[in-house]
Amino acid sequence: MVTASSGSRRTPRSRPTLEVSVLRVGHRPGRDPRLTTHVALTARALGARRMYLHPSDPDLTERLRAVGRRWGGDFEVVPADEWKPLLRSFDGPVLHLTMYGLPLSRVLPRLSRARRAMIVVGGAKVPPELYRLAAYNVSIGSQPHSEVAALAVTLVSLLGLPDAGGMRGARFRIVPRARGKRVVERRERP
């Protein structure tokens, strides 16, 4: 609870619900499936609503849909044949994760009123135009780092840590334990 200078109590303003999408630009089907899968799994687990995939990769998309069927949630993978029009028409700030950008801590306050945000995760060769189309080129530490790590730090900074209870519609649920592993399967009602 926060008290104002008069001693009156004031409740902190709640932040509007932020819907986050991720755009993976420069995916190389057949060469990048592991990295792009980790980008998608991280986005899904930490609260992003969807991942746009450029170029599209139907096999990878289906594998990620299968994860959703087993573990629940409403995360979706959307093919993006053209990423530039997607960014130009997006209704909200676009954050491009790059080690050359502004520190995330300087960008976060500028996003406090946003209702939607797009986080762009580039591939091996980032098109120079992406730097111009993004509202913010954002860095995590201004050092070489993993795209997956940068996405995770950014999502947690924007959305907070997810609940440990699992996702709606899950067929499986992990039971948190100090030691060992326990996964339970939801029983279907007859």
Q: State pTM to two decimals.
A: 0.86
pLDDT tens per residue across span 96-129 = 999 999 999 999 999 999 999 999 998 778 889 9
The amino acid that residue 62 corresponds to is E
- Has residue 125 been placed in a domain? yes
pLDDT tens per residue across span 127-183 = 899 999 999 999 998 888 889 999 999 999 999 998 877 788 889 988 888 999 999
Q: Which one, of 130, 117, 150, lies nearest residue 50 by Cα?
A: 117
pLDDT tens per residue across span 20-38 = 999 999 777 767 788 899 9
- Stated as kind and residue range, the H or E segment containing 132 is helix 128-133
- Has residue 167 been placed in a domain? no
CA 6/CA 100 separation, integer angstroms: 44
- Has residue 10 been placed in a domain? no
- Has residue 123 been placed in a domain? yes
pLDDT tens per residue across span 56-70 = 889 989 999 999 999
For residue 36, the enclosing domain spans 16-161+172-185
Looking up residue 131, the CATH number of its domain turns out to be 3.40.1280.10
Give the Cβ contact number of residue 17 at 10 Å. 8
- Has residue 3 been placed in a domain? no
Q: How many domains does the chain have?
A: 1
